[in-house]
A = this chain, B = another copy of it.
Amino acid sequence: MMHPKISGLIAATFTPYDSFGELNLSAIPPLVERLRFGGVKGVFIAGTTGESASLLLTEKLRLLEAYAAFQQDSFKVMMMLSGTNQREAIVLANAARKQGIYGTAVTAPYYFRPSNVGQLIDYMLPIAEAAGELPLYFYHIPLLTRVELPMLELLEQVGDRIPNFAGIKYTHNDLMEFNRCLRFDGSRYDVLWGWDELFLAGLSMGAKGAVGSTYNFAAPLYLRIQEAYERGDMEAALRLQQKSIDFIALYGKYGGPATGKAILGLCGFDFGPFRAPVVPLSKERILALEKELTQLGFFEEIM
């Protein structure tokens, strides 16, 4: 059977905290409004950007409930369930099913690591069952999980074993494998592109849907890249993609994922800092970041 496909941009959301470091669910509705207004097709919650690895199970359940309220056909809510912990993923899969969100995802477990795709499928199986009818994606992010299994082999073996397996959220640098997964078995599976800074490269290699954290605040820029691409104006597309690259390059300078949350704050959405071990930007650094973004014309680009 052909699985449903996502097209367009899905924002991998940040988790909002208040000044005590507790969940601040009231920050969610304004962001969702902005995302929908900006042409984003859904959210991916409690993922890497959403600090899955730093959230208590009880917090994840509250987060799920808060976002589930916005689930629509035109605005899909997806949740990452784990992690290293199959038990917790099963609890969350059940909750996701009951809340009726669009879909779910799991990473490879990254403490004890599966050494082949068979072990990975065995691990995913009871989670997928708990998710019921909801699509389950495998979230491939070897840079963080240090699990780099062959994705074509996963697709070959998973098919008959997990009926609701929908595809891959592909956050890896092997564009050849990405393209081959897209085409596998008559394009049976959905393969979502996970590198914002290479959005155009992803499109050129066949991407239709993409999940990323900078779509939280810069979706209009990416939609313009896509328009240029679709009308065959590759010079314009590259020029726009380079604007994405130029601001994402600041992540390296200011310090990883915390930079993204700081930019979200500069866009008017105060989600608080990341939890440790991610180091938040100081106020001085945020000011310097804002200055550089202004010089790049960032705030006009994302309108």
Binding site for B on A (CB under 8 A): 48, 51-57, 59, 84-88, 91, 108-114, 119-120, 122-123, 126, 144-146, 173-176, 179-180, 183, 197-198, 200-201, 203-206, 229, 231-234, 237-238, 241-242, 245, 248-249, 256-257, 274-279
**A176-B198, A200-B205 known; A57+B57 contact, CB < 8 A:** yes
A112 touches B57 (CB 8 A): no
Residue of B nearest to A279 (CB): B119
Cβ-defined contact, B198 with A53, below 8 A: no
Which residues of B are found within 8 Å of A57, using beta-carbon distances? 56-57
Q: A54-B84, A200-B204 are in contact. List 6 more A-B contacts (CB 8 A).
A: A56-B88, A86-B275, A112-B144, A180-B245, A204-B237, A205-B238
Q: Taking CB as reference atom, which chain B residue is nearest A145?
A: B111
Task: Give A135 to B85 CA distance when docked, in angstroms.
Answer: 27
Measured CA separation A155–B55 after assembly (Å) = 29
Asked if B55 and A277 make an inter-chain contact with CB atoms under 8 angstroms apart, the answer reads no
11 CB < 8 A contacts A-B: A48-B111, A56-B57, A56-B88, A84-B84, A110-B111, A111-B145, A126-B276, A173-B174, A176-B245, A176-B248, A234-B234
CA distance A70 to B137 in the complex (A): 44
Give every chain B residue within 8 A of A54 (Cβ-Cβ): 84-87, 112
Give the CA-CA distance A113 to B179 in the complex, in Å. Answer: 27
CB distance from A237 to the nearest CB of B (A): 7
Complex CA distance for A16 and B222, rounded to whole angstroms: 48
Write the nearest CB–CB distance from A191 to chain B, whole angstroms: 14
Q: What 4 pairs between A and B have smallest CB-CB spacing?
A: A232-B232, A53-B111, A53-B84, A173-B173
* CB-contact partner of A276 in B122, B205, B279, under 8 A: B122
